[in-house]
């Protein structure tokens, strides 16, 4: 996960070069390419790596170092500092099952 976070921080620091990012772009760091995201959003204040599996969507959000991240809840789970997992559909279903 540290490599993914480092790759996201690289993208944030080069946001002008990555304003439009295609998941198949060879310019992406290898650690992100290997994840095969369905969508990538790069901004100076964060990177979204989006994945879709049928009706479910989930992803990773990297924040700049030291920036306030969301409070953990049923949608956001901290992976490591500055890297968070988001899954609105599965986590919401799980909350209803228990």
44 touches 15 (CB < 8 A): yes
The distance of Cα 70 from the centroid of its chain, to the nearest Å, equals 13
Q: Which two tokens stand for residue 27?
A: 């310019």
Query: pTM to 2 decimals?
Result: 0.80
d(CA 56, CA 70): 21
Q: What is the pLDDT along the chain (98 residues), one digit of tens a residue?
A: 899 999 999 999 998 887 678 888 888 999 999 999 998 999 989 999 999 866 778 999 999 988 877 777 777 888 999 999 988 765 454 444 43
């Amino acid at each position: 996960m540290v490599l993914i976070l480092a790759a996201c921080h690289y993208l944030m620091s080069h946001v002008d070069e990555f304003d439009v990012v295609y998941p198949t772009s060879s310019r992406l760091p290898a650690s992100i390419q290997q994840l095969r995201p369905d969508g990538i959003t790069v901004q100076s204040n964060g990177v979204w790596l989006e994945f879709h599996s049928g009706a479910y969507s989930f992803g990773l959000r990297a924040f700049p170092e030291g920036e306030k991240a969301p409070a953990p809840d049923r949608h956001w789970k901290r992976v490591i500092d500055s890297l968070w997992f988001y899954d609105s559909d599965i986590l919401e279903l799980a909350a209803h099952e228990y």
